[in-house]
Amino acid sequence: DVDGGEVDVLLGSRLTLERWKPQILLEVSPHLWSHDAAAQMRDLLGESEYKIRSLLGAPVIDLDQYLHDLCKRRTSGVIHLS
Q: How confident is the model at residue 6 (pLDDT cuts 50, 70, 90)?
A: confident
E-state strands within 1-82: 24-28, 52-54, 77-81
Q: How confident is the model at residue 7 (pLDDT cuts 50, 70, 90)?
A: confident
Strand partners, 77: 28
CA distance 48 to 76: 22
* 18-71 pLDDT, tens digit each: 899 999 998 888 777 777 877 888 788 777 888 889 888 999 988 888 888 888
Q: Residue 53: count other Cβ atoms within 10 Å of its Cβ.
A: 15
Terminal CA-to-CA distance of the chain, rounded, Å?
A: 20
